[in-house]
Structure 1
Amino acid sequence: MRKLFSIPALLLAGLFASAQKKPLTHAVYDGWQSINERYISNNGKWVVYTITPQEGDATLVIQATDNSYRKEIPRGYAAAITEDSRFVICKVRPLFSATRDAKIKKKKPDDMPKDSLAIVEVGKDAVLRIPRVKSYKTPEKGNGQWIAYLREKSPAAAVATPDSLAQVNNLLHMADSLARVVDSLRNKVNDAKINGLAVLKASKKEGRAKTGEPVEEGTELVLRNLFTGEEKQFLLVNDYYFSKPGNTCIIETTRSNADTLKKASIIWYSLSNGKTDTVLRGFNDAKNFKLDETGNQLAFIAERDSSTKALQKFYKLWYYRPGMDSARLRVDRNTTGMAKGLTVSDAFVPEFSRNGQKLYFGLMPIRKPKDTSLVDFETARLDIWHYNDDYLQPQQLVQLNTELQRSFRAVLNGDENKVIQLGAEDAEAVFTADEGNADRVMAASTKGNRIESQWVGYPKYNVYIISTIDGSRKTVKEKIRSPIMLSPKGNYVIWYDPTQKNYFTYAVNTGVTTNITKSIKVPLYEEDDDHPDDPPAYGIMKWHENDKYVYVYDRYDVWQCDPEGKTAPRTLTSGYGRTHKFIYRYTSTDKEEKFISDTQTVVFRVQNEVNKQNGLAYHNMKDTAFRGYDPTGRTQIGLQVVKAKNRYAYLYTMESFKVPPMLVTLLDTMVEATNIDINGSKKLFKDSLFIRELHITNPQQNDYNWLTCELVKWTMFDGKQSEGLLYKPEDFDPKKKYPVIFYFYERYSDQLYTYRAPAPSASSVNIPWFVSNGYLIFVPDIHYKQGEPGESAYNAIVSAAKFLAKKPWVDSTKMAIQGQSWGGYQVSYLVTRTNMFAAAEAGAPVANMTSAYGGIRWGTGLNRQFQYERSQSRIGYTLWQRPDLYIRNSPLFRADKVNTPLMIVHNDADGSVPWYQGIEYFTALRRLGKKVWLLQYNGEDHNLVERRNRKDLSIRLGQYFDHFLKGAPAPRWLAEGLPATSKGIDWGTELEEQKGF
């Protein structure tokens, strides 16, 4: 049995030793770190990662996996390790303080501090630094020899101020020039009296010379050979692209505003021999460059016929390969196969099939240009909603740019100049197979099925197989609820039917549809889903090489299924998950992975459903038996697990509620390996896999009173058991009585070992801060019944509160509730049903389901009906079928029952829950004389984005609960409010005097 253990003993023995520690303050947030970027070299010997504070300067670290080398690049980011694992390149930001100062001084963009570039040969100390670099690129593959970087504009030269005598001379010269202009005009007028007005017209030659409008000129591009240090420069460069193998670099230049002979150009530069060829010269716009897999073919979109400011432009598809004099036009509006009313799309990047024999590109409708002769202030501005519209007008407006750029995929086969159109208005989503090599694609469309998505929450798809040879179409199935998938080789289409609760495949070659999972006796759908809708499937893991198998999940295990249905499914995980209540979920460690191969070692995330412990498991597909895995590591594995290309070396983060994120490698060597679990007991791995710690964040945590977390189970009012997470201070004293805040949304108990960093609040209580300052936080799971979302919350949360209230270390008179969005709704409901809480805070709550039901989620433009009938609100009926349920579950209709002090936070740009919902509740409670406050952050959406606002909310949440749960004095904003006349002058809190703000 394989086991993964994690946190080193030295870490636990020293760094997080318990002692008398200070509470967290709001001033500590900025310095709290996270590990963001992380990469591992192909040979598995080097890792690169960034240590990023919440605000301030990050550090990029280059480190050997055996810990023999470490190099820090202050402010480094956007790193790359070359294919040969020899060099690390990164950009370097200016100092945070320098950028902040420039913003304060409102400097222009060109005058702001600029990034630089750093190049390091790993294992060495020297760093090559290059100032003022806009961007850089390296080939995806190849030998790691080349880098290209584009410089920023040169800083404007300082203009010397002329002395007084020089100024007088300049004025005299200007006067002379103006006099000559006047004489010239006088002569022209006299000439016109004799020879007519025609002499006043500019000559054709003069007109052509002045037609060019100024352009944003490109800057200098430098191609650098990392092995030799030699460089080659190109001027006026706008953009550049490497081929995957690194044998070609495509360079796009702009024309020069000062020299009309320097036209916009596309250059093919061969990195193998240094030869330069001109692909195309003299165009208005060129973009969407794409090289084939070998770097020997180029396709791009260009427009060269219209003026720069033309309202309607027609792009064309161009093609080039070495040996051609210049790029060849492949497709325009007149090419064979082009449907009337379509043109080449400038929003679609062309794609070559992997074998280079097919070229995919986009088509789009020719749209009527805007009539510029109309006067804006004299024309009507309105939106017309029609009952037959596919989408409601708000959704159309949100999706407007997407629709204007929507492209229908088409293909050219080989050197043929005939367009084969694949996509269309009724086949808008097209999926290629076999990396574009296959002679067929899958197309899916919701056209004709969109209106009902207003109330069901999803559209149904019509699915087709389309030939890339002649464009012929074959229907697979109509009105399928997504997801739908085309197998990697294109031999099968697979989907899950929620009504039959099974997976079906369509064999492209035979047209046969097969139920491939009917013999599986365990549910393949989410068994504990409590929405009033067909439960969704657990999902598809991956396809096997050559479409041999498809792997699907049940609640615990993975099933290997024959897509033809001829062989009975078997559990890849040998039923080990269901037997032991372990949940296995595959995680991809290679971004280029297309399928599971016969010899691959697959990586699973594993969680013990009972005690929430988790880790990683490794299974080689050559093994006939699955050896299982016991997830006894009390840690949480980070979402990203990366494998070295040429070695069994993995890079990922581990954390727990008391240990900050730690970067580790799992290696196929025992050299200096650390094999100690979180409890400090030594463990060895089978198959010669060993773990090594690289970096742990936030050592300053040891200075503060941190938290502990435990899984708590209790019986709800309906007799069923639920689970929740109880956070206690590290210095918890069972002889004391603590105030408790209940925070909730739906279910969080699986996050037992998740690390929670102290950070300014976007909308909810920051658990570390409150616990460090003497609170208990309880996060209960909520289980829902159809038509009773409010009472379901009452059943779980109030029962949990009564359960905890019996504990001798809980002050039952000082309990509060807090939630955001759906949690905010539940808070608003609960204060109408019980007076047991001393205070409550509701973020972005729905208060009136009857007015919210037919409203719009302005962030997406979607109507809210589906949410109430089938989704989160779980009513299960329309408003006119069961108005009683909507009224019964709406806090607004029971506002007179509220006696708990309630703070509402609802922002005026909320695109998810309409702002007027918070206003409806506030004004009702205000009229009833209840204690209620409404915090409205200007221009903010559903959750706060601006850090200054997050810091402000964090302080106010602390002050609010301190007052009602600890008896602290009320700040002025809470006691008296703040008039509009004080806005921007007085915040009613000591915020501006606190350290760090």
Structure 2
Amino acid sequence: MKIKDKKYLKFVHSSISMFILGLASCSVTGQELPKKQLFPKDYNLWGTLQPLRISDGGKWVSYNMHYESQQDTIFVKNSSGTIHYSFPKGSNGHFGGDNIFGCLQSDSSLHLTNLNNGISEIIQNVIRYDFSTNGDYLLTLVSESDNQKQLIIRRDGKIIETISGITNYVWNDKKDSILYATTVGDKSAIGTICISKNLKKRIILENSENSFLQLTWQHNGKSVSFFKAKGTTAHDENQICYYNLASKKLHTLSASTAENFPDNIIIDSGYELPITISDDGSKVFFGIKNHEIQDQKKGIDTVEIWNATDKWLYPVKKKIDDWKHSPKLAVWWPESGAFRQISTIAQPWVMLTGNQEYAIVANPGTYLPQYTFTGDMDYYIINLKNGKQELLLKKQSSESMHMGISPDGRYINYYREGDWWVYDIARKNHTNITQKLRNTWDTTDNDSANAVMVYGNPGWSKDSKNVLLYDAFDLWAISSDGSVSKRLTDGRQRNIRFTIDASEFGNNVLGNYSGRSASSCDLSAKLLIEAFDFYGCSTGYFSWSTPTGLHPLAFNDSSIDKLIKARNSQSFVYQEQTYDRSPKMVIKTSEKARATTLVESNTQQKNYYWGKAEMIHYTNSFNKPLNGALFYPANYDPKIKYPMVVYIYEKVSRNIHSYVNPSLQNVTGFNITNLTTKGYLVLLPDITYESINPGLSATDCVSAAVKTVVDKGLVDPKKIGLAGHSFGGYETNFIITQTDIFAAAVSGSGVSDIISAYFSVGPITGIADIWRYENQQFRMGKSFYDNQEAYYRNSPIVHAAKITTPLLSWTGNKDKIIRWEQSMEFYLALSRLQKKHIMLVYPEMDHVPSDPLQQTDLTKRVEQWFDFFLKNEPASSWITEGFD
């Protein structure tokens, strides 16, 4: 793109590292400067690297450096690393083709830069901008003086089209055409423009006094659909429109004129059930709802009637009102004018098959009360042409990953009783496709007391011949009739888990309402595969193809993620980091090319003492092998035995390669780097669980991990602290009732009484939290009444009298995940028992602090707590008052 109104943007070469502290690497000659200790006053030097994009041809990459001071900057760098551009306070940066870069500034100006020559242009008052697929065209949505918006289309810097009064525009999948709507005065219009090599003239689909909403493209770009409405909410004047671009024919459906439209039902223009067009363009799906006028009176009910025989608890019952007023899905055939309602009050759950010829419906309340988060349902399949409905599955799990659909619409796959099945819609038969394999497809072997969670069904092959499945390690392709099963990776032998990167499934997938979309990938092409090493917790990428199998792209003893591929070349970039090496951005021009570091963040780290990390391996009392991430103090001296902080949740050792910026703004008050630079060891041990013993399992595994480190001679056994948040907070509360190996503990938003928490209602879900305890994270397996002893055995408050560890607990009084009263109950118990305990309650805070001031306060107090009890440092009066 050639840019007019020339304004030169300075070329910035490697010296740009002077603009943002420590961003670019530089060679060090002569004697290395002595290192120094890191203090909180230095924390502001650290920023977070975020890879953003790579240009189509792979010549340029963009990235962001985020700082807690909010002084963010977008950078663009060429693939050889010789040219830099910076855009302070820039946002929403995009490449136009391979040589133009645009980004928005805080003053609503768009900065466009020709990366080849540094010439720039500034366009004012830009609300939104887009480049066409090939980058030849620039679209800017700008504010006009009369509070309206104007869409301006440019090519080679020249304005070639201007549309005033724009209310919205959307691209088709190829991003070479837009559907747009305008309103000028009391007149509205909707039209299309094909933005290709030769810009085609605007086509006005319709003019109206009504506004146009929910502009929607068919996936192949051959038709569009939209609502025509007087306002922006549903009302009885709504119409839905469909326009075929080939025939140039507009079809309109209105509730008042359609022959078989249900009485007292209107077309709903809301987004709960958005418009979609079937892949073949023959059908339009949209929402309809009851015409009854809702009572707008807002007040307190005279009385809430909670009946124990109700299927739903009162909060949910009131909200859904038996689905009487929620939108229901309908389908319309524009060519024939036929209309059919799909979901109903009796069957409000709905998803479509891959070719949208059938719908699957169900009622989530069929088997209530159920004490699982996602209960069982009876699924029915509806032939949309004739409306015939048949039972598909009886009492089948409603877990979203337990059911999928093939792209061609022929099959439905589902998980049941330890096997994967496929239902052939035309033949109406069910086939167990994994019965001949001795694989475990869900997590029950590793975590038998938790809810049944499958390792995964990412989708189907593009030709719908094979279901794609995961076991604990590998990717499998299994034919729809189960006759052919092929393991595509060899993760079990390598102790690596391989999964398909999400980018392989694209983003042009039809939304599927209550269920999953028909995702697929091409097995005849080369696939990008993510890898996770179970032993060392390294992450990275491989490529896979049928001829060659797996080939490593980027996989080291580190964390590698955020891989981005160029659209028109073999180049790709990714981020790599370890705990002691700040994230860097790496580029490869092909799979076999040498990896080149383009950007190193936080190079000022070299001036400070820094810790290191290693993986430890241990076993619990059941001889189960486990990992633990151990972080060493900065400037480690093997002659010294250090204090140690142990942070727990479930599987946390996988964070071993994560670089942690030193910071006072932490959502749990815990920061590994803060602690290691202050002279602490930090341990992140993994926990595995025995059925009905979540607390005892945590105690067993954590104690074993601590003993392993103590036996290495690294830690002062009298100076070990324990910390956890949420479920980790519960584990912390419980562990200190079972052992005195910890000199201090911190529990954030943790459950203290399993029994009272069991008999509570989730503020967000409106359902009984019983499911959390019987078959989810707490893994009790049975109801309280079926095994009361186990509940008492694993409830911290029951054993509170045994506590000798000083405890700091913290919570927010607006916590919607774990009621803050759980912390209060423990506080009252420890207060009554005269234990060493302080509780912090943060006003208006949810499950974690989002306010930087609260984050800072929490971090300081957590570190002060450990400093006092583990390092014998002087403490503030908030700790020492009342303590001997």
* Partner amino acid, structure 1, of 2:105: V
8 Å CA contact retained: 1:286, 1:300:
yes
Tell me whether 1:585 sits opposite 2:499 in the alignment. yes
SS in 1 for 2:530: strand
- Give the Cα separation in 2 of the matches to 1:79 and 1:424: 44
Which residues in structure 2 correspond to 1:877-892 (within 5 Å)? 877-892=782-797
1:294 is displaced (CA, Å) by 5.9
8 Å CA contact retained: 1:30, 1:56:
no
Which residues in structure 2 correspond to 1:440-451 (within 5 Å)? 440-449=357-366, 451=368
- Give the Cα separation in 1 of the matches to 2:276 and 2:759: 43
Which residues in structure 2 correspond to 1:348-363 (within 5 Å)? 348-363=273-288
Which residues in structure 2 correspond to 1:852-931 (within 5 Å)? 852-931=757-836
Please point out which of 110, 121, 139 is paired with 1:128: 121
Please point out which of 572, 576, 586 is paired with 1:654: 576
Q: In the alignment, what sits opposite 1:7?
A: none
Structure 1 residues 388 and 315, CA gap change in structure 2 (3 angstroms):
farther
State which drifts further: 600-609 or 775-784. 600-609
8 Å CA contact retained: 1:707, 1:728:
yes
1:812 is displaced (CA, Å) by 1.5
* Partner amino acid, structure 1, of 2:780: I
Which residues in structure 2 correspond to 1:74-89 (within 5 Å)? 74-82=88-96, 84-89=97-102
SS in 2 for 1:729: coil
- Give the Cα separation in 1 of the matches to 2:136 and 2:312: 51
In the alignment of these two chains, the number of paired residues is 839
8 Å CA contact retained: 2:404, 2:413:
yes
Structure 1 residues 390 and 39, CA gap change in structure 2 (3 angstroms):
farther
8 Å CA contact retained: 1:398, 1:860:
no
Tell me whether 1:722 sits opposite 2:626 in the alignment. yes
Query: What does the per-residue CA deviation read over 1:160-212, in whole Å, with 9 as the maximum and x for residues that have no partner?
Result: xxxxxxxxxxxxxxxxxxxxxxxxxxxxxxxxxxxxxxxxxxxxxxxxxxxxx
Tell me whether 1:465 sits opposite 2:456 in the alignment. no
Q: In the alignment, what sits opposite 1:824?
A: 729
Q: In the alignment, what sits opposite 1:415?
A: 335
SS in 2 for 1:495: strand
SS in 2 for 1:344: strand
1:311 is displaced (CA, Å) by 9.7
SS in 1 for 2:576: strand
- Give the Cα separation in 2 of the matches to 1:560 and 1:324: 41
- Give the Cα separation in 2 of the matches to 1:404 and 1:662: 54
1:439 is displaced (CA, Å) by 5.5
Structure 1 residues 71 and 441, CA gap change in structure 2 (3 angstroms):
farther
Query: What does the per-residue CA deviation read over 1:519-552, in whole Å, with 9 as the maximum and x for residues that have no partner?
Result: 2123222264324256432212431121111221
8 Å CA contact retained: 1:218, 1:238:
no
1:764 is displaced (CA, Å) by 4.3
Q: In the alignment, what sits opposite 2:652?
A: 748
> RMSD of the TM alignment (CA)?
3.2
Please point out which of 139, 154, 166 is paired with 1:148: 139
Q: In the alignment, what sits opposite 2:209?
A: 282
Q: In the alignment, what sits opposite 2:151?
A: 222
Runs (5+) with no aligned partner, structure 2: 1-23, 509-518
Q: In the alignment, what sits opposite 1:484?
A: 403
State which drifts further: 654-663 or 796-805. 796-805
- Give the Cα separation in 1 of the matches to 2:393 and 2:598: 52
- Give the Cα separation in 1 of the matches to 2:180 and 2:263: 34
- Give the Cα separation in 1 of the matches to 2:494 and 2:247: 65
Which residues in structure 2 correspond to 1:365-444 (within 5 Å)? 365-370=290-295, 380=301, 382-387=303-308, 389-395=310-316, 406-434=326-354, 438=355, 440-444=357-361
1:300 is displaced (CA, Å) by 1.3
Structure 1 residues 799 and 296, CA gap change in structure 2 (3 angstroms):
closer
* Partner amino acid, structure 2, of 1:299: S
Structure 1 residues 26 and 336, CA gap change in structure 2 (3 angstroms):
farther
1:959 is displaced (CA, Å) by 1.2
Q: In the alignment, what sits opposite 1:645?
A: 567
State which drifts further: 68-77 or 853-862. 68-77
8 Å CA contact retained: 1:586, 1:603:
yes
Q: In the alignment, what sits opposite 1:241?
A: 170
- Give the Cα separation in 1 of the matches to 2:175 and 2:42: 46
- Give the Cα separation in 1 of the matches to 2:155 and 2:554: 45
Bigger RCO of structures 1 and 2 (CA < 8 A, at least 6 apart) = 1
Which residues in structure 2 correspond to 1:301-316 (within 5 Å)? 301-304=227-230, 313-316=236-239
- Give the Cα separation in 2 of the matches to 1:62 and 1:404: 53
Please point out which of 578, 599, 603 is paired with 1:699: 603
In percent, how many aligned pairs have the same letter? 23
Structure 1 residues 246 and 750, CA gap change in structure 2 (3 angstroms):
closer
Structure with greater proportional strand content = 2
Q: In the alignment, what sits opposite 1:317?
A: 240
* Partner amino acid, structure 2, of 1:134: I
Q: In the alignment, what sits opposite 1:117?
A: 110
- Give the Cα separation in 2 of the matches to 1:946 and 1:597: 45
* Partner amino acid, structure 1, of 2:261: M
Structure with greater proportional helix content = 1
1:247 is displaced (CA, Å) by 5.7
1:844 is displaced (CA, Å) by 0.9
Q: In the alignment, what sits opposite 2:103?
A: 90
Output the TM-score relative to the length of structure 2. Answer: 0.88
Query: What does the per-residue CA deviation read over 1:96-120, in whole Å, with 9 as the maximum and x for residues that have no partner?
Result: xxxxxxxxxxxxxxxxxx4321223
8 Å CA contact retained: 1:740, 1:815:
yes
Please point out which of 665, 682, 692 is paired with 1:777: 682
* Partner amino acid, structure 2, of 1:229: K
8 Å CA contact retained: 2:234, 2:267:
no
- Give the Cα separation in 2 of the matches to 1:642 and 1:472: 46
Please point out which of 175, 180, 187 is paired with 1:263: 187
1:321 is displaced (CA, Å) by 5.6
Query: What does the per-residue CA deviation read over 1:50-90, in whole Å, with 9 as the maximum and x for residues that have no partner?
Result: 222233122222333343543222222223334x4443332
SS in 1 for 2:212: strand
- Give the Cα separation in 2 of the matches to 1:743 and 1:278: 61
Please point out which of 954, 960, 975 is paired with 2:880: 975
Query: What does the per-residue CA deviation read over 1:350-369, in whole Å, with 9 as the maximum and x for residues that have no partner?
Result: 22234433322222233433
- Give the Cα separation in 1 of the matches to 2:55 and 2:456: 32
Structure 1 residues 447 and 246, CA gap change in structure 2 (3 angstroms):
closer
SS in 2 for 1:144: coil
8 Å CA contact retained: 2:541, 2:555:
no
* Partner amino acid, structure 2, of 1:279: E
Please point out which of 348, 364, 370 is paired with 2:289: 364
Structure 1 residues 534 and 245, CA gap change in structure 2 (3 angstroms):
closer
- Give the Cα separation in 1 of the matches to 2:619 and 2:229: 69
- Give the Cα separation in 1 of the matches to 2:325 and 2:853: 36
- Give the Cα separation in 1 of the matches to 2:749 and 2:715: 29
SS in 1 for 2:366: coil
- Give the Cα separation in 1 of the matches to 2:470 and 2:194: 48
SS in 1 for 2:582: coil
Please point out which of 315, 334, 337 is paired with 2:260: 337
Structure 1 residues 46 and 719, CA gap change in structure 2 (3 angstroms):
closer
1:43 is displaced (CA, Å) by 2.8
Structure 1 residues 951 and 781, CA gap change in structure 2 (3 angstroms):
same
Which residues in structure 2 correspond to 1:952-967 (within 5 Å)? 952-967=857-872
1:780 is displaced (CA, Å) by 1.3
Which residues in structure 2 correspond to 1:844-859 (within 5 Å)? 844-859=749-764
8 Å CA contact retained: 1:337, 1:421:
no
1:930 is displaced (CA, Å) by 1.8
